[in-house]
Structure 1
Amino acid sequence: MVFRPWAPNAPSATARNANNVPKVKLDLFMKIKLSGDRQLELSRFEEEELDITSKSPALYFSALAMFVASLGRCTYATLAVYGDRQDIDPENIRMKLTWQFAENPTRYEKIVMDIFWEQLPDSRIKAAQRVAHHCTIHNTIHDCVEIETKVFNVPR
């Protein structure tokens, strides 16, 4: 599924097909891969459109998965500002997010966010982990949802 958040009749210099949909390469979309019942992977954060895929037809991009993806995207924005200030390219950051639910009422209990940033020097890992905790969504939910954040400077 590809999500296109633009107005379909908006003027644009982009070539369009017969259905008035811009002709773009698929690799220009932010990638969201549903890799399990309660797991997703994110990459290519700078793109304006979404490419949502899943390992199984049984997996779909629900509102609950969208919420977790929003936490990942918000965290990326915070890390990108940090990377720019430290002259560390954030373009290839990738994330794997998993979550657990509590019951009565059903709600998020824990979200684990593994962040993979190859260009990050060893000396900056702890700082990047602290920075990741400053996104607005994290600040909004940290009192009621356990969020475990780990930063790695190895490929994912």
Structure 2
Amino acid sequence: MKEATKKELTSVKEIWGDLLASLSVTQKAMLSASHPKAASPNGLVIAFDYEIICKKAANDQEFIAAVQNNISRMISGYKPDLVYITEESWPILRQEFLSGQEETVNESELTENETEGTEETEAKEEGLVVSKAQDLFGELITVKED
């Protein structure tokens, strides 16, 4: 989400109806119960209205390929990694992300001694966030160390 832009999200929203029309009937039914929530040059967060449909979409490789291929065809060169979440989890994840961004800004204002004391706390919090994300997204999440 750190790389997400309004421009990317707007581009995806503009082709969403065409994307639905390009899918098979069952794929269209799954995607019609969803909305793009965040988009970056390399990723797209799609929120589903129902957890069961979210899980089914996340486990359907044919569906994933169809969505990625059609998006890439409609937005030249854009083949994002898809992240599926439930609509009810979106506000929580977004708030956690925003809180993390605020902490990053606040940490830059700390002195070196203060920063040393917060590293252990941050590691624990990061572990909790990663754990929660893996619970929500399963194996779709790959944690990249910065």
TM-score, normalization by structure 2? 0.37
Flag the structure with higher helix content.
Answer: 2
TM-score, normalization by structure 1? 0.36
Flag the structure with higher strand content.
Answer: 1
